[in-house]
Amino acid sequence: MDEAGSLIRTARKLKHLSQRALAKQTGIDFTYVSKIEKGKLEYAPKAAVLAKLAACLELDLCELKRLYGQPLTEWLPSTVFLPDYVG
């Protein structure tokens, strides 16, 4: 089991949730939750999945993203380039 999966599993158990209950609360398939906890994924979960897990389990999203090697900030195209509008 990897560090992120262990963190998620421990947080889930502290909240007395089964994998199925966590899956139902987050809208994530319970078999995927199991794979996350066991570190059996071929690739890191998407940021949206980590955000749902972090919110439900009251975990630090930045820490989860760091453990999976994901960037801590998201690129927002609407805020990167704001041209002056001349009407």
Looking at residue 53, which CATH number applies to its domain? 1.10.260.40
pLDDT digits 0-9 by tens, 31-56:
999 999 999 998 889 989 999 999 99
Residue 74 lies in a domain: no
Structural domain range at position 61: 3-67
Q: Which pLDDT band, with edges at 50, 70 and 90, does 72 fall under? A: low
Q: Does 76 have pLDDT greater than 90? A: no
Rounded mean pLDDT of the chain? 85
Residue 85 lies in a domain: no
Residue 57 near residue 51, CB atoms below 8 Å: no
Residue 7 lies in a domain: yes
Residue 81 lies in a domain: no
Q: The whole model's pTM is what?
A: 0.78
Q: Does 75 have pLDDT greater than 70? A: no
Amino acid in position 17? L
Residue 61 lies in a domain: yes
Residue 33 lies in a domain: yes
